[in-house]
Structure formats: C-alpha cells, structure tokens
Chains A and B, each alone.
Chain A
Amino acid sequence: MAKYLLLKHYRGAPAAVNDVPMDRWSPEEISAHVQYMNDFAARLEKTGEFVDGQALAPEGTWVRYDGEGRPPVTDGPFAETKDLIAGWMIIDVDSHERAVELAGELSAAPGAGGKPIHEWLEVRPFLTARPTITE
C-alpha cells in the first residue's frame, strides 16, 4: 500500500471543462456535489483506503523570514498567479493506477447542470518509510 495526496485547486490548474463558479450553481447542484464527495469518502472508508481529507479556505497568507527584528513579509509574491489549494484527501491504495483511478472519479463530481466538472486534481505520492531491505 502506498499513500497519495489528492490535491484540489481553486486556481493554478487550467480551467476545467465545466468551469462555472459554484455560486452560480443551483442549490440542488451544490447539494449533489457535496453528496458526491461525501459518498466518495465514505466508500473509501469502507474499502480501507481512506486516510484523511479536509477542505481549505481560499484565503491564505504568504510568509517569508526577512531578517532578525523585521516583520515577516506577507504580501504574496505573485498575487495574480498564486496557486490556491481548495482541499485535499489522503488515500492509501495498492498501486499508482488505483490512485489515478480514484482521482479521476473524484474529478467527475457533478457541477453546473448536474454534469461532471472535470476538475483538475493533482496526485502526489508520499515519501515512504525506508524498507528494511535495500542493499
């Protein structure tokens, strides 16, 4: 088993196929979307593949050490292009193929018009503990 981080982005990825902002969906469409995500997580819990998941607020603060006694710099370096992470889920699966398969499924969550939003998801493997035998 290997752990993967599924990253959802607000921005930073190319526009999704069904790219309608959520505030222009109908309430039913939003409910259907949320339900899809919850069902997805619940099903992964049952298969023993779920580790954790959280949603993130769009507002983040950039911080950089700028020398002793000086306040940290908090102005985003590239405000126009900064990559906002909307949320993440950690899964623990048998293979990279399975991780991709699940990410694809998550990307198919319904959006405007009840159609999949085709959202971009980033799939990143975790660095693992060192195996006992490497030599």
Chain B
Amino acid sequence: MDEELLRSLTPSVLTVLVRRGADFAAAEDAVQEALVEALRVWTAGPSPASSGMGHAVRDAKGWLVTVAWRKFLDAARADAARRRREERVEEEPAPGPAPAVDDTLQLYFLCAHPSLSPASAVALTLRAVGGLTTRQIAEAYLVPEATMAQRISRAKRTVSDVRFDRPGDVATVLRVLYLVFNEGYSGDIDLAAEAIRLTRQLAARIDHPEVAGLLALMLLHHARRAARTASDGSLVPLAEQDRGRWDTALISEGVGILQAALARDRLGEFQAQAAIAALHADAPTAEETDWLQIVEWYDELTRLTDSPVVRLNRAVAVGEAEGPRAGLAALAALDASSPSSRLRSSRGHPVPRHTAVAAYLHERDGDLATAARLYAEAAHEATNLAERDHLTRQAARLNARRSH
C-alpha cells in the first residue's frame, strides 16, 4: 500500500471525524487504527472496494472515513464517560457525502490555535496536518519520544473543545509554519522541506497574499540551501556562496509566486522578506546586489514590524548601499532609539547578530582591532555551533593579519 497516499489522506479523514463530533484525541486514535487496518487489509490482497488498484485509491478516503468512524463509535460506546457525546452523535442524521469545503484547511487553523504555545502548535501541526509519527517529530526536535508524546497529547487536550465553526487567524498559522521551516534540517526529517510541503498545501487551499509570501520566502531560502554550507559543515556567508549551486528552478518559482502576491497590493511581512530574498537571489554576483532596493524593502519591513532584528538587518543593507560608515551610523541610531532591553536577549547579552554586524562594519571600515575584538565577543554570544565557529574564524583571521 502506498504510505504516501495514506499520509496525505490522514488530515482530511481526521477532520471529517472531528466535524462529526469526535473530540480531537479520540478522532486521532480512531484514524490511527483505521490506518493500521488499511495497511493490513490492503496489503493482504485485493482491496475490499475493488480489485483494481486505481479504484482502491479513488475510494481510499471514503474507506478510511468509514473505518475510522466505526472505530471511533466503538471506542465511544465502550467509554461510559463519553455517553453524552455518543447520544448527541446518535441523534444526528447519518453522515452524508463529505461537504465540498476543505477539511484540511480547518485542521491547519485548529493546530495553530492561539491557546497553544508555539512549541505545542508546531508539534501538533506536524502530527495532525503533516502526518508525521511522534517518533519522527521527537527525533527532529532531539527529545525523547515519550516527551514529545506528552507534548502532543497536552496540545490535543487543549484544543479538544474547540469546534470547527470559525476560521482562525491566518497569521497564526503562518507563524507556526515559519517556525517549522526555521527549525532547520538536523535529523532524518527535513523540517524545512516539510514546512514547504505544508505551506504549498495551504497555499493551494487559501487565497491570501501572505500565504503566497511565506511560500515564496521559503522557496527562495531553500534554493540557496546547498550553497550555505561548505563540505566540512562550516557556514558560508551569502557574499561568498557559489551561486552556481543555487537552485534556479526554486528561485524562479519563488519569484513568480511573490510577483503574483505583490501585484495584489496587500503587502505583509512575509512578502517584504521574500522580496529581499528575491533581490539577493536575482544578483548574478554579490557585488551586483541591488542594495538600494533592499534598503527600501527593509524600510517597508520596519514599518510593518519594527522589530530590532529587522532594523539590525537594515543597518547591514545600509552599510552595503552607502558604505560602512553609514552602516555604523544606522547601527548607532538603532541603539539610541530602542530601549536597551529590546536589543538584549533574556540572558542580558545583546542580540547575538548585533555584535557580529558591528564587527563586520568595523572591518570594512578598516578598524581591524575593533573588528577582531567584536567578532570574538559575538562568537561568545552565539547561540548555535556553526555561527560560533564562523565568528571565531573571523576573529582569528583578523588577529593573524594584525600580528604580521
């Protein structure tokens, strides 16, 4: 049996059950049992629905819904505490054909419900919409399976009373998908690819410029993935990347999606970020990057979000467009205008990249001593290994140059 097919059907089968009145956790259990049943029956011989595989595939969803619903009812009957819900279910007219509205879309909104913490929303989305196993999710997040199972079941309990009667907030769904994408790609499960897959599904179901913006952003970043890391695993900065290794097909797809979204004149954060990514992807060499336009997009982004990280990136762009002195001035303005707490992490350190950016701008300005000191400081503050090693190398490179 085609496991890909089963996985792709899981969300909509799950949604049918929830819509019919099953609570989330019970529905999921029932769907899991139905999947096991499907694997058993469909691999044992000809499908019960037909002899031909094509027919079986066409009926697969209906078959799964029927079996899962029966499993749910069995479980509900066996559980005295669920009697009232069972009565409600019994009173409802027999379910007819599935309505034409998109089931999976509602699942996206449920899994990104505001009552869930971001970490829970991510786990539940990967489980229910993505159809990943708890073990796969646990491996991706490097926690024990039991821990992830608890996280998911808590999330399920949290949303078990939420009914599918109103569309949720698209922005919340997008934030969850963005978190999944940004989680990187350690482990067997490629979370970036998974996030792209889920965002593609969402984009096919919902007509919203920011969904398109996020998809474009992901594609444009993913296109540069192979070039971002050297063979020894070290980080390759954008300016030094071998642009021949960028995936041009993904870039042109991302740019196409972005242009269609921008044409609708409802700018949002993800479209603006994608526009910046597109300008990078569009440059044949680092030197030919259109930094002036990138600064303009950062101005738009600042207007939309005004986050310290965005203003930090803007300072980098200003440094490229108008020279390191201008970049340092932008950095100084940023320090002066924001309350110090906003530029500092919870540990009281500056936002890591802030020091790295200052180091880079000082180096370009010719002040190698300051740059070396700041690179070392930035390495000390780095929160991930690749970045720490990269910054340490920068400091070492400048120190070696200065001692000669």
Interface residues of A (CB under 8 A from B): 1, 3, 45-52, 92, 94-97, 125, 127-135
B221 within 8 A of A: yes
Name B191's closest neighbour in chain A (CB-CB). A132
A-B contacts besides A48-B151, A132-B192, 12 pairs, CB < 8 Å: A46-B150, A48-B150, A49-B147, A51-B143, A51-B144, A125-B347, A127-B382, A127-B383, A129-B384, A131-B182, A132-B182, A132-B221
Segment touching A, from B2-10, B27-35, B250-258, B385-393: B385-393
Nearest CB of A to B255, in Å: 17
- Contact (Cβ within 8 A) A47 B385: no
- Contact (Cβ within 8 A) A96 B347: yes
Interface residues of B (CB under 8 A from A): 117-120, 123, 141-144, 146-148, 150-152, 154, 181-186, 192, 221-222, 225, 235, 238, 277, 280, 345-347, 353, 382-388
Report how far A32 CA is from B148 CA in the complex, Å. 29
Q: Known: A94-B117, A134-B387. Is A48-B147 also a contact (CB below 8 A)?
A: yes
Nearest CB of A to B176, in Å: 13
Name B185's closest neighbour in chain A (CB-CB). A132
Q: 24 interchain pairs (CB within 8 A)?
A: A1-B119, A1-B141, A46-B154, A47-B150, A48-B150, A49-B147, A50-B147, A94-B118, A96-B347, A125-B383, A127-B382, A127-B385, A127-B388, A129-B183, A129-B185, A129-B186, A129-B385, A130-B385, A130-B386, A131-B183, A132-B184, A133-B181, A133-B221, A135-B277
Report how far A45 CA is from B388 CA in the complex, Å. 31
Nearest CB of A to B152, in Å: 8
- Contact (Cβ within 8 A) A128 B144: no
Report how far A96 CA is from B142 CA in the complex, Å. 18
Nearest CB of B to A106, in Å: 17
Other-chain contact of B238, A3, A49, A135 (Cβ < 8 Å): A135
- Contact (Cβ within 8 A) B382 A131: no
Contacts of B221 in A (CB 8 A): 132-133
Nearest CB of A to B88, in Å: 30
Most buried by A among B142, B147, B347: B147
Other-chain contact of B346, A3, A46, A96 (Cβ < 8 Å): A96
Contacts of A48 in B (CB 8 A): 119-120, 123, 143, 147-148, 150-152, 154
Nearest CB of B to A7, in Å: 16
Q: How many pairs of A and B residues are in contact by the CB < 8 Å rule?
A: 83
Contacts of B151 in A (CB 8 A): 47-48
- Contact (Cβ within 8 A) B184 A47: no
Report how far A96 CA is from B344 CA in the complex, Å. 13
Report how far A95 CA is from B238 CA in the complex, Å. 30
Name A95's closest neighbour in chain B (CB-CB). B346
Nearest CB of A to B310, in Å: 12
Report how far A96 CA is from B346 CA in the complex, Å. 6
Nearest CB of A to B276, in Å: 9
Report how far A96 CA is from B154 CA in the complex, Å. 21
Contacts of B183 in A (CB 8 A): 129, 131-132
Nearest CB of B to A57, in Å: 24
Nearest CB of B to A116, in Å: 25
Report how far A120 CA is from B199 CA in the complex, Å. 46
Contacts of B186 in A (CB 8 A): 129
Q: Known: A130-B235, A130-B386, A135-B280. Is A45-B184 also a contact (CB below 8 A)?
A: no
Report how far A95 CA is from B384 CA in the complex, Å. 16
Other-chain contact of B147, A45, A94, A125, A129 (Cβ < 8 Å): A45
Name B153's closest neighbour in chain A (CB-CB). A48
Q: Known: A48-B151, A48-B154. Is A131-B144 also a contact (CB below 8 A)?
A: no
Most buried by B among A3, A48, A96: A48
Report how far A92 CA is from B183 CA in the complex, Å. 14
Report how far A52 CA is from B138 CA in the complex, Å. 13
Q: Known: A96-B346, A125-B383, A127-B384. Is A132-B181 also a contact (CB below 8 A)?
A: yes
Nearest CB of A to B56, in Å: 38
Other-chain contact of A92, B143, B152, B182, B383 (Cβ < 8 Å): B143
Contacts of A132 in B (CB 8 A): 181-185, 192, 221-222, 225
Name A52's closest neighbour in chain B (CB-CB). B144
Closest 7 CB pairs of A and B: A48-B151, A96-B346, A129-B186, A1-B119, A48-B150, A130-B386, A129-B184
